[in-house]
């Protein structure tokens, strides 16, 4: 389903931008969320089974607010700092992210000690599979998020393709993802972390091949772009669908729900940080090349080329962190043990 979505998204987005509905240009892509959300609500009410906990616990709103504040302190300066000329308030916010994170963790520890249900149990960070999984997820999705943004800019403003043509260029990536995603989920039970490591390294290889194409200097043809993008899709299909399952295998069963939510959130935050941080590097290189009088193709190729090695590094480091994850998804930790016993404890999973 993720593969099909990755096919439909760029194509539909390109069609909407080119159609310029009601003169809104690219802004119409946000309206796609309205009918999708409406259909999702109807289907959810109709088909999703209801679930109820044995008891009720108050929402950890202060913890959620502190976590959000820490994230904003990091993301806002990265996202807006370059455009604003790196103002003083950006450095202040980055500095404030440290005490905000410390306050968040302190509150969560106290809430756990009182028997409450926190947004994040800090004890989970001592579980090797979870902490390494968080770091790997942030790096992995940070590289992916920045890649698609900067690739789209290069294709449209550098090579002169339309929004729809840029969407068509991404089709081989989606096709590769569709081919390996189903097999990846089935292999995860036996391959586990090896599957994730392989997928992340395949993505690194695809970025390296794309770097060679972009650095060539000429406007690449569809065929030249298709091969590295197809290989990248193969790597994404091996890794993305199984990452959460493999990480949660090493987490105590009673904490799996909270851990899954935190893991997904960290992946989204990593995506945003990747877009912001690597985007700054790309736009800085673009400004330098443009100021030197480089034509658009050269300027955008330079900007894209300067971040591709960083994305490769993200995939390689993520692969190294994935070596700390469980070997396969039927390992003890994430559920009842092989003898049918109860869930593991945090200390059990840590060992």
- 2-26+127-336+343-350 maps to which CATH number? 1.20.1250.20
Per-residue pLDDT at 207:
94
Contact 247, 137 (CB under 8 A): yes
Question: Which pTM value belongs to this model?
Answer: 0.80
Spatial separation of the C-alpha atoms in residues 45 and 49, rounded to whole Å: 8
Per-residue pLDDT at 188:
67
Per-residue pLDDT at 55:
67
Question: What percent helix, strand, coil does the chain show, rounded to 5?
Answer: 80, 0, 20
Which of 293, 187, 184, 290 lies closest to 239, judged by CA? 184
Measured from the Cβ of residue 145, the count of other Cβ atoms closer than 10 Å reads: 21
pLDDT at residue 348 greater than cutoff 50 = no
Per-residue pLDDT at 340:
32
Three-state SS at 202:
helix
Residue 55 burial (10 A CB sphere; 0-12, 13-18, 19+): exposed
Per-residue pLDDT at 344:
36
Output the average pLDDT for the chain.
Answer: 83
pLDDT at residue 158 greater than cutoff 50 = yes
Where do the domains of the chain lie? 2-26+127-336+343-350, 61-118
Per-residue pLDDT at 341:
33
Per-residue pLDDT at 329:
66
């Amino acid at each position: 389903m993720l593969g099909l979505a990755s096919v439909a998204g760029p194509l539909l987005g390109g069609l909407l931008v080119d159609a310029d509905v009601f003169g809104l240009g690219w802004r119409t892509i946000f309206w796609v969320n309205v009918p999708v959300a409406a259909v999702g609500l109807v289907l959810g009410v109709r088909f999703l089974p209801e679930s109820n906990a044995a008891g009720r616990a108050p929402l950890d709103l202060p913890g959620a607010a502190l976590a959000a504040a820490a994230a904003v302190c990091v993301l806002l300066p990265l996202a807006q700092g370059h455009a604003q000329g790196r103002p003083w308030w950006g450095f202040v916010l980055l500095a404030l992210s440290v005490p905000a994170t410390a306050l968040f963790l302190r509150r969560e520890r106290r809430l756990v000690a009182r028997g409450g249900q926190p947004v994040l149990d800090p004890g989970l960070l001592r579980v090797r599979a979870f902490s390494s999984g968080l770091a790997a997820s942030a790096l992995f999705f940070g590289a992916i998020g920045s890649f698609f943004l900067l690739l789209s800019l290069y294709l449209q403003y550098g090579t002169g393709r339309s929004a729809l043509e840029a969407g068509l260029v991404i089709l081989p990536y989606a096709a590769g993802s569709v081919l390996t995603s189903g097999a990846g989920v089935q292999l995860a039970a036996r391959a586990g972390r090896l599957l994730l490591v392989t997928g992340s390294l395949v993505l690194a290889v695809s970025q390296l091949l794309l770097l060679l194409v972009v650095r060539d200097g000429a406007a690449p043809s569809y065929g030249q772009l298709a091969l590295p993008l197809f290989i990248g899709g193969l790597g994404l299909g091996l890794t993305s669908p199984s990452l959460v399952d493999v990480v949660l295998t090493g987490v105590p069963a009673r904490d799996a729900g909270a851990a899954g939510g935190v893991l997904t959130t960290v992946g989204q935050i990593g995506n945003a940080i990747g877009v912001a941080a690597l985007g700054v590097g790309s736009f800085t290189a673009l400004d330098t090349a443009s100021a030197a009088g480089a034509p658009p193709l050269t300027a955008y190729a330079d900007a894209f080329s300067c971040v591709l090695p960083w994305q490769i590094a993200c995939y390689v480091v993520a692969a190294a962190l994935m070596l700390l994850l469980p070997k396969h998804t039927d390992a003890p930790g994430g559920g009842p043990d092989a003898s049918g016993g109860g869930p593991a404890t945090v200390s059990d999973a840590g060992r």
